[in-house]
Amino acid sequence: MKPSKINFYSENSFNLEAQEKYAGWIERVISSEGKKLEEISYIFCDDEYLLKLNEEYLHHDTYTDIITFDYSVGKILQGDIYISTERVDENAREYNVSFEEELRRVIIHGVLHLAGYKDKTEEESSLMREKEEEKMKLFHVEQ
């Protein structure tokens, strides 16, 4: 088996179950966008950890669920994706979905950013949501 180019790390007590299943899904999503995977690292953390990154690198003094550092070149995707599991948990309750579903949405949101999708305008956000829905369906597709 080839070593995965998708890494999962944790700066808090969160542990992602079924990492191979998630990695396979992420690879299918990347492929479906006509991109190639170099390496992606997911770093799960708490709100304060992500707030510090948000302030230091993006100059935003707000909590967020995800920050994506994109090192991609052309169609070759590479990046670090930081996810606050506290924020994911809170958002899951707010949107009345399971933690797992909200986590998958956030995980794939980061990949879509690496693939070139933005969410700054209403139009971009709308397309991002459509893509998230489309890619979420690929989670249960085994290949």
Dihedral, 83, 86, 91, 92 alpha carbons, nearest 10? 100
DSSP state of 29: H
Query: What are the beta bridge partners of residue 82?
Result: 43, 67
Report the binding-site residues.
109, 113, 119
The span from the CA of 139 to the CA of 82, in Å, is: 20
The annotation places the binding site for Zn(2+) at 109, 113, 119
The two structure tokens encoding residue 7: 């890494």
Q: Hey, what's the torsion of the CAs at 129, 73, 81, 125, to 10 degrees?
A: -20
